Protein backbone atom coordinates (compact mmCIF):
# COMPACT_ATOMS: atom_id res chain seq x y z
CA UNK A 1 0.00 0.00 0.00
CA UNK A 2 1.23 3.47 -0.81
CA UNK A 3 1.08 5.28 2.55
CA UNK A 4 1.47 8.75 1.11
CA UNK A 5 -2.26 9.55 0.75
CA UNK A 6 -2.61 8.99 4.50
CA UNK A 7 0.04 11.45 5.66
CA UNK A 8 -1.50 14.85 5.08
CA UNK A 9 -4.45 15.49 7.35
CA UNK A 10 -3.38 18.36 9.64
CA UNK A 11 -5.96 19.30 12.20
CA UNK A 12 -6.06 22.72 10.53
CA UNK A 13 -9.39 23.82 11.85
CA UNK A 14 -8.53 22.94 15.42
CA UNK A 15 -5.29 24.90 15.41
CA UNK A 16 -6.42 27.86 13.29
CA UNK A 17 -10.02 28.30 14.42
CA UNK A 18 -9.68 27.54 18.11
CA UNK A 19 -12.83 29.45 18.95
CA UNK A 20 -14.92 27.06 16.88
CA UNK A 21 -13.00 24.06 18.18
CA UNK A 22 -13.53 24.17 21.88
CA UNK A 23 -11.16 21.25 21.27
CA UNK A 24 -11.04 18.32 18.93
CA UNK A 25 -13.64 16.01 20.22
CA UNK A 26 -14.93 18.91 22.25
CA UNK A 27 -18.57 18.84 22.97
CA UNK A 28 -19.67 22.39 23.56
CA UNK A 29 -17.79 24.08 26.32
CA UNK A 30 -20.75 25.79 27.88
CA UNK A 31 -21.74 28.80 25.78
CA UNK A 32 -24.84 30.66 26.91
CA UNK A 33 -26.23 31.03 30.36
CA UNK A 34 -29.31 28.82 30.80
CA UNK A 35 -29.65 25.05 31.03
CA UNK A 36 -30.07 23.40 27.63
CA UNK A 37 -31.49 20.28 29.18
CA UNK A 38 -33.92 21.69 31.73
CA UNK A 39 -37.49 21.74 30.42
CA UNK A 40 -38.80 25.27 30.13
CA UNK A 41 -41.69 27.05 28.49
CA UNK A 42 -39.59 30.19 27.92
CA UNK A 43 -38.46 30.99 24.36
CA UNK A 44 -34.90 29.95 23.60
CA UNK A 45 -32.55 32.91 23.80
CA UNK A 46 -30.39 33.95 20.84
CA UNK A 47 -27.20 33.45 22.86
CA UNK A 48 -28.10 29.90 23.88
CA UNK A 49 -29.25 28.98 20.37
CA UNK A 50 -26.08 30.38 18.83
CA UNK A 51 -23.85 28.59 21.35
CA UNK A 52 -25.59 25.25 20.77
CA UNK A 53 -25.38 25.64 16.99
CA UNK A 54 -21.68 26.50 17.13
CA UNK A 55 -20.80 23.72 19.55
CA UNK A 56 -22.82 21.15 17.61
CA UNK A 57 -21.04 21.70 14.32
CA UNK A 58 -17.55 21.87 15.83
CA UNK A 59 -18.08 18.73 17.91
CA UNK A 60 -18.68 16.37 15.02
CA UNK A 61 -16.24 17.85 12.53
CA UNK A 62 -13.42 18.11 15.06
CA UNK A 63 -13.95 14.54 16.24
CA UNK A 64 -13.65 13.23 12.68
CA UNK A 65 -10.58 15.41 12.09
CA UNK A 66 -9.00 14.13 15.31
CA UNK A 67 -9.39 10.51 14.23
CA UNK A 68 -7.72 11.37 10.93
CA UNK A 69 -4.85 12.99 12.83
CA UNK A 70 -4.32 9.90 15.00
CA UNK A 71 -4.12 7.67 11.93
CA UNK A 72 -1.81 10.03 10.06
CA UNK A 73 0.53 10.52 12.99
CA UNK A 74 0.72 6.78 13.68
CA UNK A 75 1.33 6.06 10.01
CA UNK A 76 4.14 8.63 9.99
CA UNK A 77 5.72 6.93 13.01
CA UNK A 78 5.68 3.59 11.18
CA UNK A 79 7.34 5.24 8.19
CA UNK A 80 9.99 6.75 10.44
CA UNK A 81 10.89 3.35 11.89
CA UNK A 82 11.04 1.90 8.38
CA UNK A 83 13.40 4.67 7.28
CA UNK A 84 15.62 4.08 10.30
CA UNK A 85 15.65 0.36 9.62
CA UNK A 86 16.60 0.86 5.98
CA UNK A 87 19.39 3.28 6.91
CA UNK A 88 20.84 1.14 9.69
CA UNK A 89 19.11 -2.22 10.09
CA UNK A 90 21.55 -3.37 12.76
CA UNK A 91 20.69 -0.34 14.89
CA UNK A 92 16.90 -0.72 14.95
CA UNK A 93 16.93 -1.74 18.60
CA UNK A 94 18.94 1.34 19.54
CA UNK A 95 15.87 3.50 18.87
CA UNK A 96 14.63 2.58 22.33
CA UNK A 97 16.25 1.59 25.60
CA UNK A 98 13.93 -1.39 25.76
CA UNK A 99 14.05 -2.27 22.08
CA UNK A 100 16.86 -4.77 22.52
CA UNK A 101 14.24 -7.07 24.04
CA UNK A 102 12.32 -7.20 20.78
CA UNK A 103 12.06 -10.67 19.34
CA UNK A 104 12.59 -11.66 15.74
CA UNK A 105 8.84 -12.04 15.36
CA UNK A 106 8.20 -8.50 16.61
CA UNK A 107 11.02 -6.26 15.35
CA UNK A 108 9.28 -3.05 16.43
CA UNK A 109 8.59 -3.37 20.16
CA UNK A 110 8.53 -0.33 22.44
CA UNK A 111 10.57 1.64 19.94
CA UNK A 112 10.85 5.34 20.78
CA UNK A 113 10.43 7.55 17.71
CA UNK A 114 10.88 11.30 17.35
CA UNK A 115 7.71 12.95 16.04
CA UNK A 116 8.16 15.20 13.01
CA UNK A 117 6.74 18.28 14.71
CA UNK A 118 8.25 17.64 18.16
CA UNK A 119 7.87 15.22 21.04
CA UNK A 120 8.16 11.46 20.91
CA UNK A 121 6.06 8.32 20.71
CA UNK A 122 6.68 4.76 21.83
CA UNK A 123 5.55 2.33 19.14
CA UNK A 124 4.98 -1.41 18.97
CA UNK A 125 3.75 -3.25 15.88
CA UNK A 126 2.49 -6.84 15.97
CA UNK A 127 0.21 -9.10 13.96
CA UNK A 128 2.06 -8.99 10.65
CA UNK A 129 5.13 -10.62 9.23
CA UNK A 130 8.62 -9.39 10.09
CA UNK A 131 8.83 -7.82 6.63
CA UNK A 132 5.43 -6.11 6.80
CA UNK A 133 5.99 -4.72 10.28
CA UNK A 134 9.07 -2.79 9.17
CA UNK A 135 7.85 -1.68 5.72
CA UNK A 136 6.39 1.64 6.95
CA UNK A 137 2.90 0.83 5.68
CA UNK A 138 -0.41 0.06 7.34
CA UNK A 139 -1.01 -3.57 6.43
CA UNK A 140 -4.12 -5.64 7.11
CA UNK A 141 -3.86 -7.66 10.31
CA UNK A 142 -1.30 -5.41 11.98
CA UNK A 143 -1.84 -4.03 15.47
CA UNK A 144 -0.27 -0.73 16.52
CA UNK A 145 0.22 0.25 20.16
CA UNK A 146 1.30 3.85 20.58
CA UNK A 147 2.00 6.02 23.61
CA UNK A 148 2.31 9.68 22.60
CA UNK A 149 4.41 12.13 24.63
CA UNK A 150 3.87 15.71 23.43
CA UNK A 151 3.92 14.28 19.92
CA UNK A 152 3.12 16.51 16.96
CA UNK A 153 3.01 14.78 13.60
CA UNK A 154 4.09 17.89 11.71
CA UNK A 155 3.36 21.60 11.58
CA UNK A 156 -0.39 22.19 11.82
CA UNK A 157 -1.16 18.96 13.68
CA UNK A 158 -2.52 18.98 17.20
CA UNK A 159 -0.11 17.82 19.90
CA UNK A 160 -0.96 14.33 21.18
CA UNK A 161 -0.52 12.74 24.60
CA UNK A 162 -1.95 9.44 25.78
CA UNK A 163 -2.35 5.96 24.32
CA UNK A 164 -3.86 4.46 21.17
CA UNK A 165 -4.47 0.86 20.13
CA UNK A 166 -5.06 0.59 16.38
CA UNK A 167 -6.01 -2.53 14.43
CA UNK A 168 -5.70 -2.41 10.65
CA UNK A 169 -8.80 -4.19 9.39
CA UNK A 170 -8.03 -3.86 5.69
CA UNK A 171 -5.61 -2.12 3.37
CA UNK A 172 -5.66 -1.91 -0.42
CA UNK A 173 -2.39 -1.61 -2.32
CA UNK A 174 -4.18 -0.41 -5.45
CA UNK A 175 -2.87 2.93 -6.68
CA UNK A 176 -6.27 4.51 -7.35
CA UNK A 177 -8.04 4.60 -5.02
CA UNK A 178 -5.91 3.66 -2.04
CA UNK A 179 -7.93 2.52 0.96
CA UNK A 180 -7.45 1.59 4.59
CA UNK A 181 -9.84 0.69 7.43
CA UNK A 182 -8.89 0.72 11.11
CA UNK A 183 -10.43 0.24 14.56
CA UNK A 184 -9.18 2.57 17.29
CA UNK A 185 -9.26 2.46 21.07
CA UNK A 186 -7.99 5.65 22.70
CA UNK A 187 -7.15 5.98 26.40
CA UNK A 188 -6.49 9.35 27.95
CA UNK A 189 -5.83 10.75 24.48
CA UNK A 190 -5.21 14.44 25.02
CA UNK A 191 -5.03 16.96 22.21
CA UNK A 192 -3.32 20.20 23.19
CA UNK A 193 -4.29 23.31 21.24
CA UNK A 194 -3.58 27.04 21.60
CA UNK A 195 -6.80 27.55 23.56
CA UNK A 196 -6.55 24.53 25.87
CA UNK A 197 -6.95 20.76 25.77
CA UNK A 198 -9.47 17.97 25.28
CA UNK A 199 -9.08 14.39 26.50
CA UNK A 200 -10.90 11.42 24.95
CA UNK A 201 -11.56 7.86 26.09
CA UNK A 202 -13.45 5.59 23.73
CA UNK A 203 -13.53 3.62 20.50
CA UNK A 204 -13.87 4.50 16.82
CA UNK A 205 -13.86 2.88 13.40
CA UNK A 206 -12.47 4.73 10.40
CA UNK A 207 -12.53 3.74 6.74
CA UNK A 208 -10.57 5.95 4.35
CA UNK A 209 -10.00 6.20 0.61
CA UNK A 210 -7.75 8.51 -1.38
CA UNK A 211 -7.85 9.39 -5.07
CA UNK A 212 -5.11 11.44 -6.72
CA UNK A 213 -5.36 13.29 -10.03
CA UNK A 214 -2.20 15.11 -10.95
CA UNK A 215 -1.13 17.00 -7.84
CA UNK A 216 -4.66 17.09 -6.37
CA UNK A 217 -5.57 14.48 -3.75
CA UNK A 218 -9.06 13.89 -2.39
CA UNK A 219 -9.32 11.79 0.76
CA UNK A 220 -12.62 10.66 2.26
CA UNK A 221 -12.96 9.24 5.79
CA UNK A 222 -16.01 7.44 7.14
CA UNK A 223 -15.91 7.78 10.94
CA UNK A 224 -18.09 6.07 13.53
CA UNK A 225 -17.84 6.55 17.29
CA UNK A 226 -20.37 4.44 19.25
CA UNK A 227 -19.56 6.09 22.57
CA UNK A 228 -16.79 8.18 24.06
CA UNK A 229 -16.21 10.31 27.14
CA UNK A 230 -14.67 13.75 26.90
CA UNK A 231 -12.99 16.03 29.41
CA UNK A 232 -12.21 19.56 28.27
CA UNK A 233 -10.31 22.57 29.59
CA UNK A 234 -10.63 25.70 27.47
CA UNK A 235 -10.56 29.42 28.10
CA UNK A 236 -10.62 28.91 31.87
CA UNK A 237 -13.63 26.57 31.70
CA UNK A 238 -13.89 22.80 32.13
CA UNK A 239 -16.44 20.29 30.93
CA UNK A 240 -17.26 16.59 30.98
CA UNK A 241 -19.35 14.95 28.29
CA UNK A 242 -20.54 11.75 26.69
CA UNK A 243 -20.55 11.66 22.88
CA UNK A 244 -22.59 8.88 21.25
CA UNK A 245 -23.79 7.71 17.86
CA UNK A 246 -21.30 9.71 15.80
CA UNK A 247 -21.59 8.67 12.15
CA UNK A 248 -19.78 11.05 9.84
CA UNK A 249 -18.00 11.59 6.54
CA UNK A 250 -15.01 13.91 6.22
CA UNK A 251 -13.49 14.83 2.86
CA UNK A 252 -10.19 16.68 2.51
CA UNK A 253 -8.83 18.18 -0.72
CA UNK A 254 -5.09 18.83 -1.00
CA UNK A 255 -3.01 20.36 -3.77
CA UNK A 256 0.67 19.48 -3.84
CA UNK A 257 0.36 18.25 -0.26
CA UNK A 258 -1.31 21.40 1.07
CA UNK A 259 -4.91 21.28 2.29
CA UNK A 260 -7.14 23.59 0.26
CA UNK A 261 -10.62 22.69 1.58
CA UNK A 262 -12.57 20.17 3.62
CA UNK A 263 -16.16 19.06 4.05
CA UNK A 264 -18.04 17.33 6.85
CA UNK A 265 -21.43 15.64 7.11
CA UNK A 266 -22.94 13.47 9.80
CA UNK A 267 -24.85 13.20 13.05
CA UNK A 268 -24.18 12.61 16.76
CA UNK A 269 -25.66 13.12 20.21
CA UNK A 270 -24.12 14.93 23.14
CA UNK A 271 -24.79 15.12 26.88
CA UNK A 272 -22.85 16.58 29.78
CA UNK A 273 -21.95 19.69 31.73
CA UNK A 274 -19.70 22.67 31.08
CA UNK A 275 -19.26 25.94 32.94
CA UNK A 276 -22.31 25.23 35.11
CA UNK A 277 -24.53 24.57 32.10
CA UNK A 278 -26.20 21.25 31.30
CA UNK A 279 -26.07 20.20 27.67
CA UNK A 280 -28.31 17.64 25.98
CA UNK A 281 -28.73 17.71 22.20
CA UNK A 282 -28.54 15.84 18.93
CA UNK A 283 -26.99 17.35 15.81
CA UNK A 284 -27.21 16.44 12.13
CA UNK A 285 -26.02 18.14 8.97
CA UNK A 286 -28.05 18.77 5.83
CA UNK A 287 -25.59 17.90 3.10
CA UNK A 288 -21.99 19.03 3.61
CA UNK A 289 -20.60 21.70 5.90
CA UNK A 290 -17.64 23.32 4.13
CA UNK A 291 -14.37 24.79 5.43
CA UNK A 292 -11.64 26.71 3.61
CA UNK A 293 -7.89 26.07 3.54
CA UNK A 294 -7.44 27.55 7.02
CA UNK A 295 -10.30 25.51 8.44
CA UNK A 296 -12.70 28.46 8.69
CA UNK A 297 -16.40 27.67 8.31
CA UNK A 298 -17.70 28.90 4.94
CA UNK A 299 -20.95 27.10 4.15
CA UNK A 300 -23.46 24.48 5.16
CA UNK A 301 -26.61 23.74 7.13
CA UNK A 302 -27.31 21.68 10.24
CA UNK A 303 -30.07 21.02 12.75
CA UNK A 304 -29.80 20.86 16.54
CA UNK A 305 -32.61 19.20 18.50
CA UNK A 306 -32.64 19.90 22.23
CA UNK A 307 -35.41 19.56 24.80
CA UNK A 308 -38.31 21.81 23.81
CA UNK A 309 -36.54 23.49 20.87
CA UNK A 310 -35.20 22.83 17.38
CA UNK A 311 -32.50 25.06 15.89
CA UNK A 312 -31.75 25.18 12.15
CA UNK A 313 -28.59 27.00 11.07
CA UNK A 314 -27.57 27.91 7.52
CA UNK A 315 -24.25 29.51 6.55
CA UNK A 316 -23.57 31.09 3.14
CA UNK A 317 -21.58 34.07 1.85
CA UNK A 318 -20.34 35.01 5.31
CA UNK A 319 -23.84 35.21 6.79
CA UNK A 320 -25.69 32.98 9.25
CA UNK A 321 -29.46 32.55 9.19
CA UNK A 322 -30.78 30.78 12.27
CA UNK A 323 -34.35 29.73 12.99
CA UNK A 324 -35.77 28.41 16.25
CA UNK A 325 -38.88 26.29 16.71
CA UNK A 326 -39.72 26.64 20.40
CA UNK A 327 -41.49 23.51 21.56
CA UNK A 328 -40.48 21.66 18.36
CA UNK A 329 -44.08 21.89 17.15
CA UNK A 330 -43.27 22.70 13.53
CA UNK A 331 -43.71 26.47 13.85
CA UNK A 332 -40.79 28.87 13.43
CA UNK A 333 -40.92 31.24 16.39
CA UNK A 334 -37.69 33.18 15.96
CA UNK A 335 -35.29 34.04 13.12
CA UNK A 336 -31.90 35.72 13.51
CA UNK A 337 -29.33 36.81 10.92
CA UNK A 338 -25.74 37.70 11.81
CA UNK A 339 -22.13 37.41 10.52
CA UNK A 340 -20.43 34.02 10.60
CA UNK A 341 -17.81 35.52 12.93
CA UNK A 342 -20.51 35.79 15.60
CA UNK A 343 -21.26 32.09 15.29
CA UNK A 344 -17.58 31.23 15.51
CA UNK A 345 -17.17 33.31 18.69
CA UNK A 346 -20.18 31.64 20.34
CA UNK A 347 -18.58 28.19 20.60
CA UNK A 348 -17.50 27.39 24.12
- What is the per-residue pLDDT across 37-87, written as a single tens digit (0 to 9) for each? 444 457 999 988 988 898 888 878 877 888 888 898 898 899 888 866 555
CA atoms of 305 and 227, how far apart (whole Å): 19
Of the spans 130-139, 171-180, 269-278, which averages the highest pLDDT?
A: 130-139
pTM (predicted TM-score):
0.80
Strand partners, 249: 222, 265
Closest C-alpha among 83, 76, 62 to residue 117: 76
Q: How high is the pLDDT of residue 176? A: 60
Closest C-alpha among 48, 66, 47 to residue 58: 66
Amino acid sequence: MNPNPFRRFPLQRLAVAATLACGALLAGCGGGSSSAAAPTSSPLSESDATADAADATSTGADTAAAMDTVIDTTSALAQATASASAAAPDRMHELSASAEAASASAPITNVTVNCAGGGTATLSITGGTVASEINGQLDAGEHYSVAYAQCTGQAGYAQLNGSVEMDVVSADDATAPSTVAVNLTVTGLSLTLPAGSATLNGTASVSRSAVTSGNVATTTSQVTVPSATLATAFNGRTGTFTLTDLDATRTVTSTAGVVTASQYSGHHTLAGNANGRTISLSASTTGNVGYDATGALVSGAWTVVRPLATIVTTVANGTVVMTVDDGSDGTIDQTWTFPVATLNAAAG
